[in-house]
Amino acid sequence: MEERMEKLVEDIKGLDEKGEEVALSNMEIQDRKHKFEELWRLLRATDSLLVQKSKSRWLKDGDANSKFFHKCV
């Protein structure tokens, strides 16, 4: 997923640089728009995956302070 996101960022940068030199065609504008949409989709999926991993780790290992608080009680 990381490689795909890096490729999309490079493609978008390339289109942006080309757009600064000459006007982009309608097809290039649509291509850039689709690349941005896919990049955002991948970013949201990555964020969701990190949240799931975090919850899974918390359920497995527990809260880091649990032992301390249980001893206090």
**Other CB atoms within 10 Å distance of the CB of residue 55:** 10
Least confident of 5-14, 33-42, 54-63: 54-63
Query: Mind listing the pLDDT tens digit for each residue in 25-39?
Result: 999 999 999 999 999
Distance CA 48, CA 57 (A): 14
pLDDT score at 33: 96
> Mean pLDDT of all residues in the chain?
89
For residues 42 and 8, the answer to whether their CB atoms sit within 8 Å is: yes
Q: Is 27 exposed, middle or buried (0-12, 13-18, 19+ CB in 10 A)?
A: exposed
pLDDT score at 47: 95
For residues 49 and 2, the answer to whether their CB atoms sit within 8 Å is: no
pTM over 0.85: no
Residue 63: pLDDT band with limits 50, 70, 90: low
How many helices (H) does the chain have, and how many strands (E)? 3, 0
